[in-house]
Structure 1
Amino acid sequence: MSSHHQPPHAPLLIAFPTKDALQHDLAAFIVRAQKDSIDKKGRFTIALSGGSLPNMLKGLISNSHIKWNHWQVYYVDERVVPLDHPDSNHRACTDALFAHVPIPAENIHTIDPALFGELEELADSYEKLLIHEFAQKDAARFPVFDLILLGMGPDGHTASLFPAHDLLAEEDRWVAYVEDSPKPPLRRITFTYPVINHAARVVFVASGADKAATIAHVLEHPEEGLPAARVRPVFPGQLYWFVDDAAASKTVYPRTEFKL
């Protein structure tokens, strides 16, 4: 990151008594981010992950405050499988959310299946989608998403950025490819840290006791450099952890009360 940036804000940990309460208030947070963005510039740019995240977005389905025609949706990472394959993040987000809401299909930006044979070209083509969305409008070195939603695996990976992988050091590319993922499927594309860390808001969403030890490790020992701990949005961006009490049960990191 360039040296003139002010240091990042400390992450805010917001814990909810139940997964349902988390889903409800996460939807309220997304609505607020959407409103701020549309009021400022007439559009809302959001990037989604796969894994357990899509099912945490169900609070958006019946929310009357969502202006779906103003959303521009991208994927933080994607598995290189057909878009209707069970491993596809796009399929997971469609099944959990998009099939149930009136979002225009052209506002959801997927990877191009015609390029699956050539990973570098596939990553470049997705980067070009970001350039088209952001470069003319924002004139920034990296895109500035209004909101990026992330999950985290038990090993501390996020997006398709895995522990001890070379991509953790990538500083130039916006979108990179992975052909040796430690968990299947092996081939993926992923946003890099500069893209994630330039967002206005980044939210990790996690629930369940199986995430508790890793969350404690990431929040209390960021210097150890687990992939999730390297998500530190540059100022004035803000990082949030939306978790349920089970996921927060092993950390002594201070909690912040949820306020819109």
Structure 2
Amino acid sequence: MLRENAAPRWHIYPDNAEISTRLATAVTRIAAEAIARRGAFHLVVAGGNTPRAAYARLPTLGNDWQRWHIYHGDERCLPVEDAERNSVMLEDTWLSQVPIPRTQIHHIPAEKGAREAARIYAEVLPRQHFDLVLLGLGEDGHTASLFPDHDWGRDKHTPATLAIFDAAKAPAERVSLSAWRLRQTRALFFLVCGAGKQNALRAWLQNAAIPAAAVGSDADVWLDKAAWPEMLPETQ
């Protein structure tokens, strides 16, 4: 479980290819440990392009697929087969190639609209902690669909899932796990690649009030050299 008031751990790698290889290995290692200890592996996946290559490696590395349980950190309110949905990317790159029981792949029903999908998904989430949560970092400091100057759901008395109607990026309507629910995990990885993320990382390092910092105060942040802010020493 994440510790309060701890610092992130920054892991800098040469490029996304190196991160993808290491991430796929780490996910399968954590899965094996979770299954050995608790009989199941509960994983929250990130969308976007950064983790795509890592997901593509998983079919050749993972096993005990019948014990994997997959959840999403967020989803866009688009038709089921829209290529911009995280669920479509996951199916295309990984899930369609492995025998995880379909009842254990929990896509967010975002096609129903943000409010109804958030209500349904809150009932799907496990009561226990996740084993691993994967998240990305937006250029404005957002993570999942938690955007600056919006409600991030940091209070445990707020819902575990949030209906988003005014996201800073299209589409405006989305569903996201709240900040406090994302933090209920045994391990938390942020994946950050590209020079476009330097300003967001600089803000995080300077303790700015951005969603990623609120969620990832004790995260492992995996980033490539291009994403590390210029003029700052590299650290691991």
Query: Normalised by the size of structure 2, how large is the TM-score?
Result: 0.89
Q: Could you tell me how far apart the structure 2 residues matched to 1:251 and 1:34 are?
A: 37
Question: Which residues in structure 2 correspond to 1:14-163 (within 5 Å)?
Answer: 14-57=11-54, 58-63=56-61, 65-112=62-109, 116-117=112-113, 119-130=114-125, 133-134=126-127, 138=128, 144-163=129-148
Per-residue CA distance 1:39-82 (angstroms, 9 max, x = gap): 1111000011212244142232321x432221100000011112
Shift of residue 249, structure 1, vs aligned partner: 4.8
- Which residue in the other structure is 2:209 paired with? 225
Answer yes or no: is the 8 Å Cα contact 2:50–2:193 preserved in 1. Answer: no
Per-residue CA distance 1:178-208 (angstroms, 9 max, x = gap): 0111211111110001111121111111112
Change in 2 beyond 3 A, CA 1:15/1:202: same
Answer yes or no: is the 8 Å Cα contact 2:75–2:108 preserved in 1. Answer: yes
Root mean square deviation, CA, Å: 2.1
Answer yes or no: is the 8 Å Cα contact 2:180–2:215 preserved in 1. Answer: no
Shift of residue 153, structure 1, vs aligned partner: 1.0
Structure 2 residue matching 1:60: 3-state secondary structure: helix
Shift of residue 169, structure 1, vs aligned partner: 4.8
Answer yes or no: is the 8 Å Cα contact 1:159–1:190 preserved in 2. Answer: yes
Shift of residue 232, structure 1, vs aligned partner: 3.5
- Which residue in the other structure is 1:141 paired with? none
Change in 2 beyond 3 A, CA 1:103/1:40: same
Change in 2 beyond 3 A, CA 1:20/1:107: same
Answer yes or no: is the 8 Å Cα contact 2:192–2:224 preserved in 1. Answer: yes
Q: Could you tell me how far apart the structure 1 residues matched to 2:51 and 2:65 are?
A: 16
Answer yes or no: is the 8 Å Cα contact 2:47–2:86 preserved in 1. Answer: yes
Answer yes or no: is the 8 Å Cα contact 2:46–2:73 preserved in 1. Answer: yes
Q: Could you tell me how far apart the structure 1 residues matched to 2:231 and 2:184 are?
A: 27
The percent identity for this pair of structures is 29
Query: Normalised by the size of structure 1, how large is the TM-score?
Result: 0.82
Per-residue CA distance 1:97-119 (angstroms, 9 max, x = gap): 22333333222101236x715x3
Q: Could you tell me how far apart the structure 2 residues matched to 1:251 and 1:203 are?
A: 24
Structure 2 stretches of 5 or more lacking a match?
Answer: none
Answer yes or no: is the 8 Å Cα contact 1:150–1:204 preserved in 2. Answer: yes
Report the number of matched residues: 233
Answer yes or no: is the 8 Å Cα contact 2:34–2:131 preserved in 1. Answer: yes
Structure 1 stretches of 5 or more lacking a match?
Answer: 139-143
Structure 2 residue matching 1:22: 3-state secondary structure: helix
